[in-house]
């Protein structure tokens, strides 16, 4: 699975959009980009995933560059409850690796009032 690089920490003002970048320059054509977050030592929580196209769900949007070497997770209106560690994970299709997730150190997002 491709390695990812994320900033160690970021701040965001409450109510503003939080844009979390992730570099995955060695990603291969059939690898997906997944985002999870972990709030205050709870178990990680799935946010969103994508392959090539931009994706949006009720929690966030995922923007993947055309060359797929980087992506950005967007929380459109950050709240204090979005303060968490955000993990960007790149991995093969489920059928190729039994669903294993390789976690890096992630980005600690601090949402401030």
Partner 1 sequence: NAGVTQTPKFRVLKTGQSMTLLCAQDMNHEYMYWYRQDPGMGLRLIHYSVGEGTTAKGEVPDGYNVSRLKKQNFLLGLESAAPSQTSVYFCASSQLWGISYNEQFFGPGTRLTVL
Q: Which residues in this chain contact partner 1 in the complex, by CB under 8 A?
A: 32, 36, 41-46, 49, 51, 87, 93-95, 98-106
Least Å distance between CB 69 and partner 1? 20
Least Å distance between CB 43 and partner 1? 3
Nearer to partner 1, 63 or 92 (CB): 92
Nearer to partner 1, 70 or 91 (CB): 91
Specify whether the CB–CB gap between 109 and 22 falls below 8 A. Answer: no
With H, G, I as helix, E, B as strand and everything else as coil, classify residue 17: coil
Nearer to partner 1, 16 or 103 (CB): 103
Least Å distance between CB 38 and partner 1? 8
Residue 32: partners with Cβ closer than 8 Å, 6 or more residues away: 49, 50, 51, 90, 91, 92, 93
For the chain, state the CA radius of gyration.
13
Tokens 């946010």 belong to: 47
Specify whether the CB–CB gap between 34 and 49 falls below 8 A. Answer: yes
Nearer to partner 1, 13 or 51 (CB): 51
């Amino acid at each position: 699975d491709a390695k990812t690089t994320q900033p160690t920490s970021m701040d965001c003002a409450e109510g503003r959009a939080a844009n979390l970048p992730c570099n995955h320059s060695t990603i291969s054509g059939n690898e997906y980009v997944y985002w999870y977050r972990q709030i205050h030592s709870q178990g990680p929580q799935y946010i969103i995933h994508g392959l090539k196209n931009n994706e949006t769900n009720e929690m966030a949007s995922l923007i993947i560059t055309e060359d797929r070497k980087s992506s950005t997770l967007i929380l459109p209106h950050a709240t204090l409850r979005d303060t968490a560690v955000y993990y960007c994970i790149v991995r093969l299709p489920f059928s190729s690796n039994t669903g294993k997730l390789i976690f890096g150190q992630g980005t600690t997002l601090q949402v401030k009032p």
